[in-house]
Chain A
Amino acid sequence: MAIDLNDEVVAAGAHGPVISARDVRVWYGTTRGAIRAVDGVSFDLAPGETMGLVGESGCGKSTLGRGLMGLLPEGAKRDGQVLFRGRDIFSLSPKAAYQMRGRELGMIFQEPLTRLNPLMRISQHFEETIKQHEPDLSKNEIRERALEVLRLMGIPPTRYRSYPHEFSGGMRQRLMIALALVLRPAFVVADEPTTALDVLVEAQIVQILNDLRRNFQTSLLLITHNVGIVAEACDRVAVMYAGRIVEQGTVTEVFKKPQHPYTRELLRSTISLTTTGLNYIPGAPPDLIDPPDGCRFHPRCPAAMNVCAEKNPVNIERPGGGRVECWLVGPDDQVPAGGKQPLKREELTVADEA
Chain B
Amino acid sequence: MPTKPDTSSDTSSDGPATPSLLEVRDLSVHFELRGGTLSRLFGRDTGTIKAVDGVNLALRPGEVVGLVGESGSGKSTLGRALLGLVPATDGSIHLREQNIADLGRRQLREIRQVVQMVFQDPNAALNPSMTVEDAVADALRVHGVRSASERRTRVVEALDRVGLSPVELFLSKYPRDLSGGQKQRVVLARAIVLDPELLVADEPVSMLDMSVRAKILQLMLDLKSDLGLTYVYITHDLATAKYFCDRIAIMYLGRIVEIGSTEEIFATPRHPYTKALLAAIPEPDPDRMVPRDLPRGEIPDAAQPPIGCAFHPRCPEAVAGCGWESRDLRALLEEHWLRADVAFEDEQKVIGDLEHLDTPSTSATLGTGGSVEVRAILDRMKAEDSTEPLWSGVTSIEDAGSGVTVHFEPAPAPALRRAGGVEVACVLYPDTGDAADRGRA
Contacts and interface: CB of A to CB of B under 8 A. Distances in A.
**Do these two chains really belong together in a complex?**
yes
Nearest to B164: A350
Interface stretch (B134-142, B187-195, B231-239): B231-239
Given A269-B214, A271-B240, A353-B163, A158 B298 contact: no
B307 to A, nearest CB: 20
B334 A255 contact: no
Contacts of A350: 163-165
Interface stretch (B205-213, B372-380, B388-396): B205-213
A200 B209 contact: no
Interface stretch (B24-32, B80-88, B112-120, B278-286): B278-286
Interface residues of A, number: 58
B439 interface: no
Interface of A is mostly: helix
B11 to A, nearest CB: 19
Interface residues of B, number: 65
A252 B286 contact: yes
Given A57-B209, A158-B337, A354-B215, A272 B182 contact: no
A231 B282 contact: yes
B338 interface: yes
B326 to A, nearest CB: 15
A226 interface: yes
Q: Which of A157, A229, A265 has the most CB of B within 10 A?
A: A157
B276 interface: yes
A158 to B, nearest CB: 6
Contact of B169 (A158, A170, A233, A351): A351
B218 interface: yes
Nearest to B208: A354
Contact of B211 (A201, A204, A280): A280
B282 A251 contact: no
Given A204-B294, A206-B282, A198 B70 contact: yes
A265 B180 CA distance: 19
Contacts of A204: 294
Interface of A: 56-57, 151, 154-159, 168-171, 198-204, 206-207, 210, 225-233, 251-252, 255-256, 265-267, 269-281, 284, 349-351, 353-354
Given A200-B276, A203-B282, A206-B290, 7 more contacts: A199-B238, A200-B314, A202-B282, A232-B282, A232-B283, A269-B213, A271-B210
Interface of B: 1-3, 5, 70-71, 163-166, 169-170, 179-182, 209-215, 217-218, 221, 236-240, 242-243, 266, 276-292, 294-295, 297-299, 314, 334-335, 337-338, 340, 344, 348, 354
